[in-house]
Amino acid sequence: MSDSVKPRRYTSPVRAERAARTRREVLAAARELLSSQGYGATTVAQVAARAGVSVDTVYASVGRKPELVVAVIDMVLGSSDEPIPAEQRDYVRAVRAAPSGRDKIAVYAAALGALMPATAPLIEALRHAGDHDEECARTWTRLVERRASNMLLFAADLRSTGHLRADLTDREVADVVWSTNAPEYWLLLRSRGWSPQRYADLLEDLWCRLLLEPEPQVSR
């Protein structure tokens, strides 16, 4: 009777580190090209050439062009060399640590003023690409739905302060924030000459007025 020997699964730390390094190089190349050239002018072949790898390696390490865009967006949002989940981003942690509803809104609005100019053009380009590319359309829809889910978490965080209007549901609060922090909204305002700071100030004022209970008047 012969014993059957199952091949052992072996993962080399060196190989894993090499793969991680390659992924970082691809991400860095994608960020540089997409940020400087835009979505339409950037090709996967250019990303591969900049990273010094093959196109197949780009696909294997990160994905196709829509996945590269999402990865770059998440890198910008996370202020990191790697895509970072929402809950690990510095500004999200700062929002959650802020003590009052007004403080939370102020932190989030300021973050959008800093981040939207870099991310909105990529998201908008992905939306337009979705008109003739199903993969781009699915990726854009996934980003939109992800943002909507995150706004429900933001609404719940605001609710926890006790400062949110009682006549608004969390879904209504989330939808108001989701619609006014949309990339399309920033791009419309930018086309009218608004600066990122003015946009951030508008969001802070709008959300505080619309979503929070009025502050009690101090009698004199």
Give percent of the chain above pLDDT 70: 93
Q: Dihedral sign, CA of 89, 152, 187, 133? A: positive
CA distance 74 to 89: 9
Mean pLDDT of 107-124: 95
Range of the domain at 158: 98-211
25: helix, strand or coil: helix
Q: Is residue 47 part of a domain?
A: no
pLDDT bucket at 1, cuts 50 / 70 / 90: very low
- Whether residue 144 is contained in a domain is answered as yes
* Residue 155 falls inside a structural domain: yes
Residue 3 is predicted with a pLDDT of 52
Q: Which pTM was predicted? A: 0.85
Q: Does residue 8 form part of some domain?
A: no
113 belongs to a structural domain: yes
Q: What is the pLDDT of residues 202-211, one digit of tens each?
A: 999 999 999 9
201: in domain: yes
pLDDT band at 78 (very low <50, low <70, confident <90, very high): confident
Is residue 116 a part of any domain in this protein?
A: yes
Indicate the pLDDT class of residue 38, thresholds 50, 70 and 90: confident
Asked whether residue 125 is domain-assigned, the answer is yes
Confidence grade of residue 8 (pLDDT, cut at 50, 70, 90): low
Number of structural domains the chain divides into? 1
How confident is the prediction for the chain on average, in pLDDT?
Answer: 90
